[in-house]
Structure 1
Amino acid sequence: MNQADVLFVFDVGGVLIELDPAARDAALVAGRKADAGHPDFTALPRGLMRDFRLGLVDEPAYLAALSAHFDVSTDTILAAEDAYIAGINADMVGFVRILKQRYRVVCLSNTQAIHWRRVSQSLLGPDLFHADYLSHVLHQEKPDPAIYRTLVAAEAAQDRRIIFIDDTGENIDAARDLGWTDTLLHVSPGDTIAAVADLLGLPDETAPEDEPATGTRH
């Protein structure tokens, strides 16, 4: 198959980036006054968090609301958000770099501005993907079919083979419902890399070729 006919779409959190909810919660506890007690994590303002993830609430308003909810400083909220991003999965990031030499590779991520700033600036770098499709920029998120359609239209991928990797089953199911038949539920780097090699009919997907990927970064 012509390499220009293949589009790779990667989720980020849980696939390329390791997440640590326990570290985030510990940072929030540590930032409270000694006599404040333990915060009630069952009463998280999930609507606010969703709206920030969709880019419907700006960062100062988000920080102020969470600061009031947990009775901590905005610096503590930022520290907690930072602690949630535990680091990169080096095997998967290296795999993306190899694929990018041969194929068009983009990301499709449910994320928010604070997390993405750290991920793109400090961990993955701004140019790991040919294009980034982000919930807080598009005001759409997986598994809503609209965000998949937005990506297909932007990439002119109606007739291309899309290989989609995500660690959440409902996101995979939504893609399949739209006809993305080459979808892989990410469980481990080894399994995902082997599955991609199998889809491409390759014995080993680890030796890059000196051939530029098609397309340009949006």
Structure 2
Amino acid sequence: MTQTQHDAGWYLFDYGMVIAAAPAAGDWDRLEQTAGRELRAPGSTYWAHRHSFDAGALDSPSYWSAVLERPVEPAEAENLDRLDTALWSQPDPRTREVLRSLESRGASMAVLSNMPARMSQIFEAEGWWTGYFEHLIFSGPLRLAKPDPRIYEHALATMGAEASDVVFIDDKRENIDAAAALGLETVHYTADTDLAAELGL
């Protein structure tokens, strides 16, 4: 859906596969070497437990214990969390340009991301991208995850915005559909999306 910058009160961005690009092979290699198993395939234990981790139902040691199928102590979990954060740290250059353009126009921007609590803490302290945004809303600390309608309602309350005043950008169709059902304008971000054009920049 095309939306001009002047029509939107807020731009609400997903993080992974929108602000961040797909993980680089070398970052997967480093995580898998440390974990001692293959993780990147869609059916791996990394993905099987990921939504529960994102939603705060699992803490880091519990998640990595499930992924590695053996007990993981907090120090090892912290190392794996750091490697996992690095995995999702490659910027999408197209989105980066859009963020710069919106910032130059004084646009109001926020992030709504499914992200484990520890990863969100690392990014809040060290992320290159956090300064673009007025609000950073992460699923792990809230123990709510997209597409649960309650996390969108929380985001709207945090921004002090009406749904119709928000453009939400996400790569997952189920998250887009949930946002649209609440009345948010949406952009489904894919490899073929010209985000600047979609936002009228």
Residues 55 and 99 of structure 1: CA distance in aligned 2, closer, same or farther (over 3 Å): same
Task: Select the structure with the greater relative contact order (CA < 8 A; seq sep ≥ 6).
Answer: 2
Q: Match of 1:176?
A: 180
Q: CA deviation at 1:144?
A: 1.1
Residues 4 and 29 of structure 1: CA distance in aligned 2, closer, same or farther (over 3 Å): closer
Q: Match of 1:103?
A: 107
Please list every run of 5 or more consecutive structure 1 residues that lacks an aligned counterpart in the other structure.
198-204, 206-218
Pairs within 5 Å for 1:5-154: 6-20=9-23, 23=26, 25-31=28-34, 38=37, 42=43, 44=45, 48-69=49-70, 73-74=76-77, 77-78=80-81, 80-100=83-103, 101-154=105-158
Q: CA deviation at 1:98?
A: 2.8
Aligned-residue CA RMSD (Å) = 3.5
Please list every run of 5 or more consecutive structure 2 residues that lacks an aligned counterpart in the other structure.
none
Q: Match of 1:200?
A: none
Which of the pair has more CA radius of gyration?
Answer: 1
Q: CA deviation at 1:23?
A: 4.8
| Percent of residue pairs identical | 23
Q: CA deviation at 1:191?
A: 0.7
Q: Match of 2:189?
A: 186
Residues 57 and 161 of structure 1: CA distance in aligned 2, closer, same or farther (over 3 Å): same
Contact 2:164 2:183 in 1 (8 A): no
Q: Match of 2:171?
A: 167
The one-letter amino acid paired with 1:107 is V
In 2: Cα distance, 1:122 partner to 1:177 partner: 34
In 2: Cα distance, 1:148 partner to 1:52 partner: 19
In 1: Cα distance, 2:193 partner to 2:172 partner: 17
Residues 70 and 187 of structure 1: CA distance in aligned 2, closer, same or farther (over 3 Å): farther
For residue 131 of structure 2, give the secondary structure of its aligned residue in structure 1.
Answer: coil
- The number of residues matched between the two structures is 193
In 2: Cα distance, 1:183 partner to 1:88 partner: 21
Residues 76 and 69 of structure 1: CA distance in aligned 2, closer, same or farther (over 3 Å): farther
More moved, 87-96 vs 20-29: 20-29
Residues 179 and 29 of structure 1: CA distance in aligned 2, closer, same or farther (over 3 Å): closer
Q: TM-score, normalised by structure 2?
A: 0.75
